[in-house]
Amino acid sequence: MKKENHLVKFLVSSLAIFLSAMLLPKVDVANVWVAMLLAAILALLNRFVKPLLLILTIPATIFSLGLFLFVINGIIIFIADWLVPDQYFQVGNFFMGIIFSLVISFTTAILETVLGVKER
């Protein structure tokens, strides 16, 4: 993947986070700069922490037929909430963290389709 494509995907993720926070009632992102910081933190958490969580929760994921992955995404959002001070980013409750992760995913997919961002 080209460097330009990484930058575009990062900016699309930041925009998706900002728009998703505007749509959801108990999720607050202070501004676009915080959304960019949050996109970077979520990228790092998804790269390093999420694989560890996936391995540790294989039995629960299999037992729930994969639905436990939503819980893992909520945990990742709450770790990011813990890392960023509350005056900049705040998620109301765990269920809203799960909804926020879903809305981010859908918004990112829509923006990437509209903007023509493709992985090569």
Asked whether the predicted pLDDT for residue 118 surpasses 90, the reply is no
Asked if residue 82 is part of any domain, the answer here is yes
Q: Report the C-alpha gap between 63 and 79 in whole angstroms.
A: 24
Phi, psi of 29 (to 5 degrees): -120, 125
Residue 120 included in any domain:
no
Mean pLDDT across 29-34:
96
Range of the structural domain that residue 58 is part of? 3-115
84 in a domain, yes or no?
Answer: yes
- CB-side exposure of 99: number of CA atoms within 13 Å? 13
Report how many domains make up the chain: 1
In-domain check, residue 74: yes
- 4-to-1, 97, 102, 119 alpha-carbon distances in Å: 8, 30, 26, 11
* pLDDT tens digits, 51-106: 999 999 999 999 999 999 999 999 999 999 999 999 999 999 999 999 999 999 99
Amino acid (1-letter code) at residue 101: S
